[in-house]
Amino acid sequence: MKITKLETFLVKPRWLFLKIHTDEGLVGLGEPILEGRALTCAQAVAELEPYLLGQDPTRVIHHWQAMYRHAFYRGGPILTSALSGVEQALWDLTGKYYGQPVYKLFGGPTRERIRVYAHAGGNPETIRQLAARGFNAFKTGVFGGRPARIVETKGFIDRAVANFAALREAAGPEIDIAIDFHGAIPPQTSKVLIKALEPFQPMFIEEPVQCQNVDVLADLARSTHLPIAAGERVFTKWGFRELLEKRAVSILQPDLCHAGGIHEVHIIAGMAEAYYAAVAPHNPLGPISLAACLQLDATIPNFLAQEQVSLGEGYLKQPFVIKDGCIDLPTGPGLGIELDEEALADKIGHEWTNPQSYHPDDGSVVDW
């Protein structure tokens, strides 16, 4: 089996899908996307195509090493996202070629079902509705009424905590709710807000500060009994090493579309296991990304929960189904999914860009 063509196409609302074609008719699927940089990622994939044409797609790890290491300038969000999507598609082809799910190629599953969580926003009614659909874990953000200042008022803290308290009341004590600071709460305020949230026991605090600020993350982790999570903006095993060595997080959140793909995140999970850390893969992307995550989740013993925003309705011939907060292990070969080309027809193309916001106090740039 040889690779004959790489094909990328924009898919609403903000995704980039990849098809790797072969001379035996098998097609591998991947999602080589960085949010807001879809066209740049598509070009990066195109620059990998000359190396891949004519290659045996089942030599996945060899190709990853070649594409990563033959570049004098390595890594970074764009190049690693392009590589991640290509790697997903290579595993999809390998599984299809051998007639096995990807997780079987990694030694078989460590669990029978995969727990997933949904985004709740700041609305208690959203939690009630999603719980009725079968979800039992959620994530929200910080709702303080405006973008955070460097040093925040008691009013901002009180509003943010009151919003989380309302979600907790709607969910009850047996449902998990994580809270994502998005790295947008300054370190001068993060510790205060974490302390105020402690009575409501969030499942974890995500990116309480920018993930590059590893020493401050470590300080926050030591100052609270709540788990600290980060990793969506960290790439490859080399990027995650410092987070673990400094005990800056106890929950890693690598994104399989950014961090290097399925095998690379499998390595990262093994590193995390050595530090008694859990893995909750980041995924605010499409159903191909989710399918890749589920294959990885099935294989690692220190899996916590899987983020998702689309179960594939309108994109996959057989969307994923939630039951008791979980998705059953996919059983099909490769990533276990098939695109619904007819349903996709009206979703091709988008012009999604990163949001641009400015602080109401003085018009200064606000972090997304």
User: Catalytic positions, please?
Assistant: 182, 282
Neighbours of 76 (CB within 10 A): 13
CB atoms within 10 A of CB 153: 11
Give the dihedral sign, CA 265/266/267/271.
positive
Residue spans of alpha helices (H) in the chain? 38-52, 60-69, 77-98, 102-105, 124-133, 154-171, 187-197, 214-223, 236-245, 262-274, 287-299, 341-344
φ/ψ (deg, to 5) at 187: -60, -25
**Cα 96 to the center of its chain, rounded Å:** 24
**By C-alpha distance, which of 364, 367, 334, 355 is closest to 105?**
334
The DSSP code for 235 is -
